[in-house]
Amino acid sequence: MDTLLSILNWLLPLVYLALAIDYGATFILRNRTHDRNPGVILAIVFHGAFLVLWGVRFGGLPLVSNYEILSVVAVSSAAVYWAIELVTRDRRAGVFVFLLIFLLQYTSSASLSVMIAHAGDSGHMQAGLGRLHVLPAVLAYTALAFGAVYATLYLVGQRNMKHHNFGLLFDRLPPLDLLGRMSFQSMQVGFAFMTITIITGGVLFHRFGSGGGAMPIDPKLLAKIVIGSAAWIIFAMDVFGKYILKWSVSRVSAITLAGFLIIAVLFVTSLALS
């Protein structure tokens, strides 16, 4: 089964790369921009099967290591994108989303050995409260990744429009209001899940973290707390600015992107300290 898992693990980034290429062709050639892509649902099913096999092999949810979480973020991003495409019937942002998903899955797949080393190490993350911390974190990462992709596209599109640059991107990008709306809504969803993640993380820390003594705090955990709190404050400002201060779409998008970059730093730091 390990061989099968290994093969599937390396096929996954290729599947997402193929989807990114397919969406790239749609973006450039401007054909089928409003059709649904059956490849997305096939990729999700394929990825889902991989995760189920993984769970069967290692006896638990694939939510222990950061690399497993990356893979789950990748498949949930694909699922969210599939839902978005279903509603908006617009495929033009697909290439950017699937490039990100490819990068996430490639990073995850490239660390297979690390995953195997961590898989089955159920520990407290497989416990009920642990799931309540990790699952919303996965959803938060997914939604914030979406927010960042759409925010980037909005900022690029806005810059083109402002500078009257009527080139390829002007033609191919989805309308700006759609990009701005998708960016903000994704960020809000991510922010909500991030809040839940922080609360459940606090409870976990209280129960298991310090062990009740004066033990020095784990540097990985400290980095997570500091960077996560900074990102949370930025997203909170973003929501407040949008609703109360009537900030412009470009400012909201730029802050969404900045918040995501901090989250990315958090993730990379967490990987580095693993």
Partner 1 sequence: MKLSVIGISHRTAPVEVRERYALTGDLAGRFLRAAHLENVFEEAMVLDTCNRTELYFVPTGAGDCMDSFLGHVAKLKGLSGDVDKSVFYRHDSQAAVEHLFGVAAALDSQIVGEHQVLGQLKDAYRLAAEQRTARFLLGRLMHRAFRVGKRTRSETELGRGSVSVASAAADLAAQIFSDMGGRTVLMVGAGQTAEAAARSLISAGVRRVVIANRTLSRAEELTRELTGANARAIELDRAGEVIGDTDIVICSTGSSEPVLTYDALGDIISRRGKLLCIVDLAVPRDVDPKLGDLPNVFLHNINDLDRVVARNIERRRQDIPRAKAIVEFEVGEFVKWYDSLQAASTIKLLNRRFELLRQAEIERYGGKFSDSDREQLQRFTESLCKKILHRPIAFLRGLAQDASVSDQLLAVETIRRMYELDEIEAEQNGRGDDLENDE
Spell out, one character per residue from 237 to 256, where the chain touches partner 1: x when CB under 8 A holds, - when not: -----x---xxxxxx-----
170 touches partner 1 by CB under 8 A: yes
Q: Which alpha helices (H) appear in the chain, and where do they start and end?
A: 2-29, 38-58, 66-88, 94-110, 112-118, 128-162, 168-172, 176-204, 219-243, 249-273
User: Does residue 34 contact residue 89 with C-beta atoms inside 8 Å?
Assistant: yes
126 touches partner 1 by CB under 8 A: no
Q: How far is CA 30 from the centre of its chain?
A: 27
Q: Which is nearer to partner 1, 121 or 171 (CB)?
A: 171
Q: Which is nearer to partner 1, 140 or 249 (CB)?
A: 249
Q: 4-63: which residues touch partner 1 (CB under 8 A)?
A: none
177 touches partner 1 by CB under 8 A: yes
Query: Rounded to a whole number, what is the distance in angstroms from the first to the last CA of the chain?
Result: 27
Tokens of 123: 């520990």
Q: How far is CA 159 from the centre of its chain?
A: 25
From its phi and psi, is residue 247 left (phi > 0), alpha (psi between -120 and 50) or beta? beta
User: Does residue 62 contact residue 50 with C-beta atoms inside 8 Å?
Assistant: no
91 touches partner 1 by CB under 8 A: no
Q: How far is the CB of 221 from partner 1 (least distance, A)?
A: 38
Write down the residue that tokens 């290429």 correspond to: 21
175 touches partner 1 by CB under 8 A: yes
Q: Which stretch binds partner 1 (CB under 8 A): 35-43, 57-65, 168-176, 193-201?
A: 168-176
88 touches partner 1 by CB under 8 A: yes
166 touches partner 1 by CB under 8 A: yes
Q: How far is the CB of 36 from partner 1 (least distance, A)?
A: 17
What span, in angstroms and rounded, lies between the C-alpha atoms of 208 and 1?
34
Binds partner 1 (CB under 8 A): choice among 79, 127, 161, 265: 161
Rg (CA), the chain: 19
Q: Which is nearer to partner 1, 93 or 137 (CB)?
A: 93
The size of the chain, in residues, is 274
Q: Which stretch binds partner 1 (CB under 8 A): 34-42, 53-61, 79-87, 174-182?
A: 174-182
178 touches partner 1 by CB under 8 A: yes
Rule CB under 8 A: which residues touch partner 1? 88, 90, 157, 161-162, 164, 166, 170, 173-178, 180, 242, 246-251
